[in-house]
């Protein structure tokens, strides 16, 4: 009994004292800490200056196990330059002033990839701090480039200059000035040469090309309500009238509340050089435009917006600086109305526009017209319209099986009248197109489907051919590591992409009086398939691609005139960190004319490498081989190799910016071609054409 | 004067009921082509059977008349639309054959279309005149142009090629070691076919290419092909162009664009001839030899070139900026798997260490997404996990800027791009 009493007493005592203690300990160890909150030294929607100190204080210290704090001011993460204490974080602007206008301060708790918001504080920055700050920068590099040796095999014509030494000067000026409410930035670049053929505008002006020319320039003045730009500018957001048309000129954008007005005066084509600095000197090559945009729901920009654009311009028969084209002299004037809208959550969006344009080809092309009495196109006013809409039917929706899904569908309708044209928008005229597409994301897998129908000859001209088209596409991207839930060695699992494309073009019959024979009527089905797999394993990257196309002709008398073609390629690259990198590419290409049973096959391989033993020394090398086997005759081979060594150095007694650089390069090209004099023989002989050069150069950076 | 309509020409030339020799001894292949009614079209033509003759003018018109006392059919002077502009005339006379590149401007097709709207027949004609060197009568040879949408069954020709740098700079300036901006070729074409070619670069110290070197291979006569000068190859491409009329061809991987040596570089787009049934020129039919000349991707102009300049820091563009800041990782163009964090790293390089670093993230269209301000000791920044979502699934680009304590920009890296899986 005593023993039993002793046990009961012990249990009672343990129950009374120990259990409550253990429960207390357990409760303390499993209970969540108090939720984090923070107070700021600013009121919500406070009006502050651009150099104001922002301080947030937590209700309790943040333990290391909970993660750390992140402070965002606007879109800038300022955590690393803020002072931190156990319960406090303080940001004092330095090297970064708060932007004027509405902004937001957000304090996060970050643990791993998870960011939890603790405090959000809208603010209004009244005026950015500081006085006007002017930054300037300039540079000029004088260089000598030349060919110091050249050699070639027989059969290669001697170049106009076997050896030569030329000089170049590349220079630039840059400045920026900022005040609280405005900023001014300028930039100009210049290219000088000692050989006329190397001049920037030799292709346009020939022997009249300036040896020292202006490559480009820009001047930009900005404030919250105004943006004025001179130099290379772009104008227009109208698909059919002026679509981001870029040229030398000037634009002015004024913004007041929900309304913005844009004015543009630009050259008719993109040019470089000292001539026509403002882009307005030649009336026959000048475009003037104005655009007014208005948010119909000012409290929610983007909900419903109306844009009206007017344009009047003309172009000479001259391509832009980096363009080659069959061009005409053109003049057009027109206007467009465009309306766009979206739900607040962006799940439903639409945009629609209607354009009218009056167009003609003025008789200002002497090369085309000369002294001929030629018929010219008549002035014509035509229209174009489009409407596009998209809807997110499912957004991260949970499915009965598998991961969440997102489904977006889109519809598009577009009609461009016959003879429609605008000088500032490259639009394909005489086309009606209707299309539907869907984008489906299920977990990490994304697929896209689309189908479109189109037709031309909308004016029903009886003797012109009418072509109908049906295009279908399907593509899918599969990150296999995510798909199979692979955690370890996931880099070994590739990203797979596959695309299928079908394009069928056919006609609705022989147009009377159109000089068409049955075999001239298109009826062609093109089927295209692409497949690729990509890996990235540490410093290695590998890509394998395959492409196949089948051109199936179906018109009368041409049923067998089909083609099959394709490319299979492999690319392998590795980086050696700061020391350099190396890559190898190989491919096998073919094209088969089924009707003639003729196949052309091309095999190629390229090796590129860069090695930087020191920060000032660089060695580059490249080797490429290309073997072409035509259906008839012998195979040809083209090779290309070059090795280049460059060394930078400091000029004695010069500043850091005044550097020099020396390089030397050996380049060799070779071609193994059939000898044309024996081409008719049963086994034609080959000629090996080789040319090699040694080039060198010395650059000195003046400032 | 006898005006000849398209049907009689079709009968005469196309079906061969009336031998073409009864009109002219010079022959052409092809005799008829489908051209775009709304844009330009370029066609490779071979004229054969020349005997002490040289080609002179080339004219488009709406109707033909007998050329007597000359041979063949010439343009009715009241229906002339224009002549082949000298800037597009890349014809070559070699012995008894003449290779002609007919580039029909859009304005010529427009006149023909408007005439057809008013009730005339839509086909029009391209007439080459051949002048005898020994006093014989001139000969006129016509090619029928049929109006179509310019899609399938039109010759595969390039009519507008525009090379662009990402960011829109015409001649970007970058500093040594920086990656130049991405390149793209916006191409307008007729017909359909394989676009095969290569990107090349003319390095500082190399002779610039001549205009002839910049023609597409299909623009040259058969015996001239393969003889154009080659330069250092950057990348090859081989893509199929469906009969849509427009394509944006991506430029070479920017990692292959050299920038170690300061100077001016020129990037070339070289296009090789491919097999295109619609553009075939039959030498037998033209009396110019044997075989068929394929001319897929013919163009009536030398292709444009792109320049970029590797220079000092004061010369800069929006893309290529001054840099002594070296970016370490990730590499330009790298793709990150879904869920992987983007951690960017850099080294300050030589010279004065900035007081602060700013890391900027933008979409590939230049829309700012976020920035981070970091102390001078920082060499790494881990971007927030919501970066991909903020970029709306677009590729992003990033750079690092070194700042003085007063905010002055001391150094800046180049932009690099990264693709983030959503």
Question: Cβ separation of B160 and A323 shorter than 8 Å?
Answer: yes
Quickly list H helices, B97-154: 106-117
How confident is the model at residue B393, as a pLDDT?
A: 65
Closest Cβ opposite residue A697 in set B38, B148, B263: B263
Q: Is A670 exposed, middle or buried (0-12, 13-18, 19+ CB in 10 A)?
A: middle
Contact check, Cβ <8 Å, B236/A587: yes
Q: Which residues pair with B347 in a beta bridge?
A: B326
Cβ of A326 and B374 within 8 Å? no
Q: How far is B259 from chain A (nearest CA, A)?
A: 11
Mean pLDDT of chain B: 83
CB A603 within 8 A of CB A627: yes
- Largest CA-CA distance found in chain B, in angstroms, rounded: 90
DSSP-derived 3-state class of residue B226: coil
The two beta strands, A83-84 and A46-49, are: unpaired
Q: Give the residue from A602, A569, A606 showing the smallest Cα distance to A587.
A: A569
- The 3-state DSSP class for residue A290 equals strand
Nearest-by-Cβ selection for A115 from B170, B244, B384: B384
Chain A, residues 273-312, CB within 8 A of chain B, namely: none
Q: Over 50: is that where the pLDDT of B320 sits? A: no
Chain A closest-CA separation from residue B80 CA (Å):
5
Q: Specify the DSSP class assigned to residue B178.
A: P
CB atoms within 10 A of CB B78: 12
Strand partners, B65: B3, B74
Residue A72 CB neighbours (<10 A): 21
In degrees, to the nearest 5, what angle opens at C-alpha A82 toward C-alphas B415 and B401? 20
Query: Cβ A75–B205 below 8 Å, yes or no?
Result: no
Beta strands in A268-398 (DSSP E): 286-295, 304-315, 323-325, 330-342, 348-360, 380-397
Give the side-chain half-sphere CA count within 13 A for A159: 20
Residue A239: which of A422, A457, A389 has the closest Cα?
A422
CB contact under 8 A, B82 and A482: no
Radius of gyration of the CA atoms of chain A, in A: 35
Q: Which of A81, A145, A608 sits opposite B204 (nearest CB)?
A: A145
Across the interface, whether the CB atoms of A377 and B111 are under 8 A apart is answered: yes
Q: What pLDDT score was predicted for residue B12? A: 45
pLDDT at position B254: 85
CB proximity list for A465: less than 8 A, separation 6 or greater: A457, A507, A511, A514, A516, A521, A522, B34, B146, B147, B148, B149
CA distance B370 to chain A (A): 5
In the DSSP assignment, the letter for residue A424 is B
Q: Which residue has the tokens 């393969």?
A: B226
Q: Which residues of B touch A168 (CB under 8 A)?
A: 204, 263-264
- Categorize the per-residue pLDDT at A22 as very low, low, confident or very high, splitting at 50, 70 and 90: very low
Residue B171 has pLDDT above 80, yes or no: yes
Of A108, A131, A112, which is closest to residue A121 (Cα–Cα)?
A108
Q: CB neighbours of A9 closer than 8 A, spacing ≥ 6?
A: none
> pLDDT grade, residue B422 (50/70/90)?
low
| Nearest Cα residue to B256 out of A275, A583, A338 | A583
Task: Give the separation between CA B192 and CA B5, rounded to whole angstroms.
Answer: 30
Burial class (CB in 10 A: 0-12, 13-18, 19+), B176: buried
Instruction: Collect all residues with Cβ–Cβ distance below 8 Å to A238 and sequence separation of at least 6.
Output: A291, A307, A309, A336, A338, A353, A355, A425
> A437 — contact with chain B (CB < 8 Å)?
no
Return the closest-CA partner of residue B300 out of B99, B79, B62, B53. B99
Name the residue of chain B whose CA is nearest to A189's CA.
B315
Q: Of the given ranges (A20-34, A39-53, A313-327, B302-316), which has the lowest mean pLDDT?
A: A20-34
N- to C-terminal Cα separation, chain B: 73
Q: Does A81 touch chain B (CB under 8 A)?
A: yes
Between chain A and chain B, the number of residue pairs with CB atoms below 8 A apart is 468
pLDDT for the residue B217:
94
Distance of CA A64 to the CA centre of its chain: 42
**For chain A, what is the largest distance between any 2 Cα atoms, rounded to a whole number of angstroms?**
136
- DSSP single-letter state for residue A196: G
Q: Which pLDDT score is estimated for B290?
A: 82
Angle ∠(B181,B183,B185) on CA atoms, nearest 5: 160
A376 burial level (CB within 10 Å; 0-12, 13-18, 19+): middle
Q: What tokens does A352 get?
A: 């629609």
What is the spatial distance between Cα A463 and Cα B265, in angstroms, rounded to a whole number? 50
Min mean pLDDT across A50-54, A151-155, A460-464 is at A50-54
Whether B40 and A375 lie within 8 Å, measured CB to CB: no
Q: In this model, does residue A284 exceed pLDDT 90?
A: yes
Quote the pTM value: 0.78
Distance CA A421, CA B106 (A): 11
Residue A131 pLDDT class (50, 70, 90 cuts): low
Task: Write out pLDDT tens, residues A437-488.
Answer: 999 988 888 899 999 999 999 999 988 889 999 999 999 999 888 788 887 7
Confidence band of A45 (pLDDT split at 50, 70, 90): confident
Percent of chain A with pLDDT over 90: 44
Chain segment A617-661, per-residue pLDDT in tens: 889 999 999 999 988 878 889 999 999 999 888 777 666 556 788
Instruction: Pick the residue from chain A with its C-alpha nearest to B144.
Output: A515
Distance separating alpha carbons of residues B202 and B190, to the nearest angstrom = 29
* Cross-chain Cβ contact B311/A646 below 8 Å: no
Q: Please count the other Cβ atoms lying within 10 Å of the Cβ belonging to residue A42.
A: 18
At B184, is the pLDDT very low, low, confident or very high (cuts 50, 70, 90)? Answer: very high
Residues A13 and B134: their CA atoms lie apart, in Å, by 135
What percentage of residues in chain A have a pLDDT greater than 70?
A: 90
Q: What span, in angstroms and rounded, lies between the C-alpha atoms of A323 and A268? A: 13
Backbone angles phi, psi at B166, to 5 degrees: -60, 130
Taking CB atoms and an 8 Å limit, are A115 and B258 in contact across chains? no
**What are residue A137's DSSP bridge partners?**
A174
Strands B64-66 and B3-4: antiparallel
CA dist A437 to A414, A415, A504, A603, Å? 15, 18, 18, 37
Kindly report the backbone phi and psi dihedral angles of residue B110, in degrees, each rounded to the nearest multiple of 5, phi listed first. Answer: -70, -40
B2 has a pLDDT exceeding 50: no
Residue B15, pLDDT above cutoff 60? no
Q: Is A160 helix (H, G, I), strand (E, B) or coil?
A: coil
CB B83 within 8 A of CB B10: no
Asked if B42's CB is within 8 angstroms of A171's CB, the reply is: no
Sequence-distant (6+) residues with CB within 8 A of B29 are: B45, B46, B48, B281, B282, B283, B285, B286, B288
Say whether pLDDT at A279 is over 80. Answer: yes
Interval B43-82: pLDDT, tens: 999 999 888 889 999 999 999 999 888 999 999 999 999 9
| B162 touches B183 (CB < 8 A) | no
For residue B6, pLDDT over 70 is answered with no
Q: What is the pLDDT of residue B292?
A: 85
**Residue from B191, B116, B104 nearest A512 by CA:** B116
| Other CB atoms within 10 A of residue A631 CB | 14
d(CA B275, CA A15): 95
* pLDDT computed for residue B94 by the predictor: 84
DSSP-assigned states of every residue in B181-209 = PPEEEEEEEES-EEEEEEEEEEPTTSPPP
Tens of pLDDT, residues A303-313: 899 999 999 99
pLDDT at residue A498, as a whole number: 95
Shortest alpha-carbon distance between residue A34 and chain B (Å): 26
Instruction: Check A520 against B34: CB less than 8 A apart.
Output: yes
d(C-alpha B93, C-alpha B50), whole Å: 10
A464 to chain B: which residues are within 8 Å by CB? 37, 113, 116, 122, 147-148
Q: Which is higher by pLDDT, A675 or A565?
A: A565
* pLDDT (average), residues B148-165: 92
Mean pLDDT, residues B307-322 taken together: 59
Provide the sign of the torsion angle of the four alpha carbons B389, B393, B394, B399, taken in this order. positive
Enclosing H/E stretch for A6:
helix A2-13
Q: Which candidate, A609, A603, A544, places its Cα nearest to that of A583?
A: A609
Check whether A3 has a pLDDT greater than 60: no
Contacts of B362 (CB under 8 A, 6+ apart): B368, B369, B396, B397, B398
Residue B11's pLDDT band (cuts 50, 70, 90): very low
Closest B-chain CA to A441: B422
In this prediction, residue B337 has a pLDDT band, given cuts at 50, 70 and 90, of: low
Report strand pairing: B368-375 vs A76-77. Answer: parallel
pLDDT tens digit string along B185-223? 999 999 998 899 999 999 988 888 888 999 999 999 888
The two three-digit tokens of residue A185, written as one number: 């930035």
Token pair for A149: 């040796």
Count of CB atoms within 10 A of residue A59's CB?
Answer: 12
The pair of structure tokens assigned to A620 is: 């580059």
Distance from the Cα of residue A347 to its chain's centroid? 25
Q: Is A492 in a helix, a strand, or coil?
A: helix
Q: What is the pLDDT of residue B20?
A: 41
């Amino acid at each position: 009994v005593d023993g039993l009493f002793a046990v009961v007493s012990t249990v009672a005592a343990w129950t009374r004292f120990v259990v409550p203690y253990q429960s207390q300990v357990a409760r303390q160890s499993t209970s969540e800490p108090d939720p984090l909150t923070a107070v700021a030294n600013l009121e919500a929607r406070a009006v502050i200056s651009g150099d104001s100190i922002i301080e947030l204080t937590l209700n309790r210290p943040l333990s290391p196990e909970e993660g750390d704090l992140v402070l965002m001011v606007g879109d800038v993460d300022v955590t690393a330059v803020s002072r931190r204490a156990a319960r406090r974080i303080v940001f004092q602007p330095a090297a970064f002033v708060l932007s004027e206008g509405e902004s937001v301060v957000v304090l996060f708790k970050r643990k791993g990839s998870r960011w939890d918001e603790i405090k959000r504080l809208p603010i209004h920055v009244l005026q950015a701090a500081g006085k006007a700050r002017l930054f300037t920068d300039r540079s000029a590099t004088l260089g000598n480039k030349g060919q110091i040796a050249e050699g070639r095999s027989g059969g290669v014509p001697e170049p106009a200059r076997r050896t030569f030494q030329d000089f170049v000067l590349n220079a630039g000026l840059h400045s920026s000035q900022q005040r609280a409410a405005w900023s001014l930035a300028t930039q100009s670049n210049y290219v000088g040469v000692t050989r006329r053929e190397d001049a920037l505008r030799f292709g346009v002006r020939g022997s009249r090309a300036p040896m020292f020319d202006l490559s480009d320039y820009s001047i930009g003045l900005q404030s919250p309500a105004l943006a004025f730009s001179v130099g290379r500018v772009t104008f227009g957001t109208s698909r059919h009238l002026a679509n981001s048309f870029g040229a030398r000129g000037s634009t002015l954008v004024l913004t007041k509340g929900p309304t913005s007005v844009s004015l543009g005066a630009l050259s008719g084509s993109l040019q470089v050089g000292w001539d026509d600095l403002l882009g307005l000197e030649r009336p026959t090559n000048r475009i003037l435009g104005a655009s007014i945009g208005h948010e119909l729901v000012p409290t929610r920009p983007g909900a419903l917006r109306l844009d009206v654009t007017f344009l009047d311009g003309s172009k000479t028969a001259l391509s832009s600086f980096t363009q080659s084209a069959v061009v005409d002299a053109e003049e057009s004037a027109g206007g467009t109305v465009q309306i766009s809208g979206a739900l607040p959550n962006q799940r439903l969006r639409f945009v629609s526009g209607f354009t009218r344009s009056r167009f003609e080809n003025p008789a200002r092309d002497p090369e085309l017209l000369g002294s001929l009495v030629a018929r010219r196109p008549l002035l014509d006013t035509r229209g174009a319209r489009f409407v596009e809409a998209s809807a997110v039917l499912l957004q991260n929706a949970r499915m009965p099986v598998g991961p969440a899904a997102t489904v977006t569908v889109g519809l598009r309708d577009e009609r461009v009248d016959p003879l429609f044209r605008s000088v500032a928008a490259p639009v394909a005229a005489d086309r009606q197109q209707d299309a539907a597409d869907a984008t489906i994301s299920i977990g990490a897998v994304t697929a896209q489907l689309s189908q479109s129908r189109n037709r031309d000859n909308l004016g029903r001209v009886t003797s012109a051919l009418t072509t109908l088209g049906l295009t279908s596409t399907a593509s899918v991207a599969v990150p296999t590591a995510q798909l199979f839930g692979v955690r370890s060695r996931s880099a070994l699992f590739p990203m797979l992409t596959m695309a299928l494309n079908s394009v069928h073009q056919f006609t609705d019959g022989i147009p009377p009086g159109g000089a068409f024979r049955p075999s001239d009527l298109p009826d062609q089905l093109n089927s295209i398939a692409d497949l690729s797999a990509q890996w990235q394993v540490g410093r290695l990257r590998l890509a394998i691609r395959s492409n196949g196309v089948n051109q199936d002709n179906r018109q009368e008398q041409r049923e067998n005139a089909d083609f099959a073609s394709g490319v299979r390629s492999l690319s392998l690259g590795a980086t050696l960190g700061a020391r350099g990198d190396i890559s190898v590419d190989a491919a096998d290409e073919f094209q088969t004319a089924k009707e003639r049973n003729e196949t052309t096959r091309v095999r190629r391989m390229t090796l590129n490498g860069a090695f930087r033993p020191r920060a000032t020394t660089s060695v580059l090398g490249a080797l490429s081989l290309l073997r072409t086997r035509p259906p008839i005759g012998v195979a040809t081979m083209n090779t290309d190799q070059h090795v280049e060594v460059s060394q930078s150095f400091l000029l004695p007694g010069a500043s850091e910016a005044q550097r020099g650089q020396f390089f030397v390069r050996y380049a060799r090209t070779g071609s193994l071609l059939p000898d044309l004099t024996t081409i008719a023989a049963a086994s034609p002989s080959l000629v090996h054409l080789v040319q090699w050069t040694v080039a060198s150069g010395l650059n000195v950076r003046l400032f | 004067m006898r005006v000849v309509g398209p049907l009689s020409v079709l009968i005469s030339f196309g079906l061969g009921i009336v031998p073409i020799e009864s009109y002219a001894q010079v022959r052409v292949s092809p005799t008829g082509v489908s051209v775009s009614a709304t844009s330009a079209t370029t066609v490779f033509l071979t004229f054969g059977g020349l005997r002490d003759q040289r080609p002179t003018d080339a004219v488009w018109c709406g109707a033909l008349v007998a050329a007597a006392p000359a041979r063949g059919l010439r343009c009715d002077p009241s229906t002339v639309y224009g002549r082949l502009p000298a800037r597009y005339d890349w014809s070559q006379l070699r012995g008894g054959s003449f290779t002609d590149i007919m580039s029909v401007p859009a304005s010529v097709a427009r006149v023909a279309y408007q005439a057809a709207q008013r009730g005339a027949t839509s086909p029009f004609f391209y007439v080459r005149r051949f002048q005898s060197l020994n006093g014989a009568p001139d000969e006129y040879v016509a090619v029928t142009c049929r109006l179509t949408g310019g899609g399938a069954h039109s010759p595969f020709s390039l009519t507008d090629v525009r090379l662009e740098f990402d960011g829109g700079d015409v001649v970007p300036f970058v500093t040594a070691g920086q990656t130049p901006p991405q390149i793209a070729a916006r191409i307008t074409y007729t017909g359909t076919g394989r676009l095969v070619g290569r990107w090349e670069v003319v390095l500082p110290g190399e002779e610039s290419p001549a205009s002839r070197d910049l023609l597409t291979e299909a623009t040259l006569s058969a015996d001239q092909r393969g003889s154009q000068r080659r330069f250092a190859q950057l990348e090859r491409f081989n893509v199929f162009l469906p009969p849509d009329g427009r394509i944006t061809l991506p430029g070479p991987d920017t990692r292959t664009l050299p920038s170690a040596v300061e100077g001016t570089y020129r990037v070339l787009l070289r296009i090789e001839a491919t097999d295109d049934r619609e553009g075939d020129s039959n030498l037998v039919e033209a009396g110019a030899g044997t075989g068929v000349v394929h001319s897929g991707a013919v163009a009536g102009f030398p292709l444009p070139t792109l320049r970029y300049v590797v220079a000092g820091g004061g010369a800069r563009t929006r893309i290529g900026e001054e840099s002594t800041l070296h970016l370490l990782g990730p590499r330009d163009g790298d793709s990150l798997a879904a869920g992987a964090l983007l951690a960017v790293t850099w080294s300050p390089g030589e010279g004065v260490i900035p007081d602060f670093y700013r890391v900027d993230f933008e979409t590939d269209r230049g829309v700012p997404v976020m920035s981070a301000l970091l102390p001078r000791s920082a060499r790494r920044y881990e971007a927030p996990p919501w970066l991909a979502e903020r970029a709306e699934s677009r590729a992003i680009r990033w750079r690092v800027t070194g700042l003085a304590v007063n905010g002055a920009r001391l150094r800046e890296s180049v932009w690099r791009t990264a693709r983030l899986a959503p």
